[in-house]
Amino acid sequence: MSQFFALIPAAGSGSRMGNELPKQYLPLCGRPMIYHAIKTLCNNRSIAGVFIVLSPGDIHWSQYDWSEFSQKLTVLQFGGATRADSVLNGLIAAQQKNLINPQDWVLVHDAARPCLTSDQLNKLIGELASDNVGGLLAVPVADTLKRGDADNHVRQTESRDNLWQAQTPQMFRCELLTRALQNAANMNVTDDASAIEALGLHPKLVPSDAYNFKVTYPQDLALAELIIQKRNHP
């Protein structure tokens, strides 16, 4: 029987956030941001374990109390130079430690998406558990899309037909994702699905919603705070 594991790459520095503290540790509703995704993943009964991939030089993780998640949480301090490197290093370390089998599913989730809900998570697992390839949460593009030139003048309006914004979790079998990321080593992929696509496969898009957005810029933090506050105190 295949099991489901989550892997959170959390070795980034949050350069677009412009804060000295890496963004996964910025305070959000009284907790470091990464706490919220960890909680949603650990509390899900389908998820057997959660791997956290930290930067080798991380000095922040150990300053918090993670004991409430100790049953499911494994820290792997093997983060790399890019998100793809961090995910690949984490997958390899987890396999070397015999914590995961090649045919188990891995749900890769950004530490910077704290507003993931258990409904979204269950929908992803439900839609993909018997899929041959796997897939990802995604949202159909809502805005009109403009292609600009170097001086910010519109060159043309792009059709948004069949265009989606990729989110996480992105769910693939451990062996396939490891092979895909190894193959994509020099391709600058910014998500896991891109590496799978580079093998000629077609990940499934599972409709999600805008609440599962990625905290990237300072103003995003305030929005995430509002969403989580409202959930905690409806």
CA–CA separation, 36 vs 159, rounded Å?
A: 35
Q: Which residues bind ligand CTP (CB under 6 A)?
A: 9-17, 23-24, 53, 79-83, 86, 110-112, 214, 216
Shortest CB 84 distance to ligand CTP, Å = 8
Burial of residue 215, with CB atoms counted within 10 A of its CB: 0-12 exposed, 13-18 middle, 19 or more buried: buried
Reading the block at residue 103, the tokens are: 């045919």
Beta carbon nearer to ligand CTP, 11 or 106? 11
Beta carbon nearer to ligand CTP, 29 or 131? 29
Beta carbon nearer to ligand CTP, 79 or 134? 79
* Coil vs helix vs strand at 10: strand
Shortest CB 33 distance to ligand CTP, Å = 9
Shortest CB 132 distance to ligand CTP, Å = 26
Inter-residue contact 83 to 136 (CB < 8 Å): no
Q: Which residue number places its CB atom closest to ligand CTP?
A: 12
DSSP-derived secondary structure for 117-132: -HHHHHHHHHHHTT-S
Shortest CB 133 distance to ligand CTP, Å = 22
Shortest CB 8 distance to ligand CTP, Å = 7
Beta carbon nearer to ligand CTP, 44 or 170? 170
Beta carbon nearer to ligand CTP, 112 or 166? 112
Own/partner contacts of 179-187, CB < 8 Å, gap of 24 or more, are 181/84, 181/87, 181/88, 181/91, 182/88, 184/84, 185/84
Residue with tokens 């959390």: 10
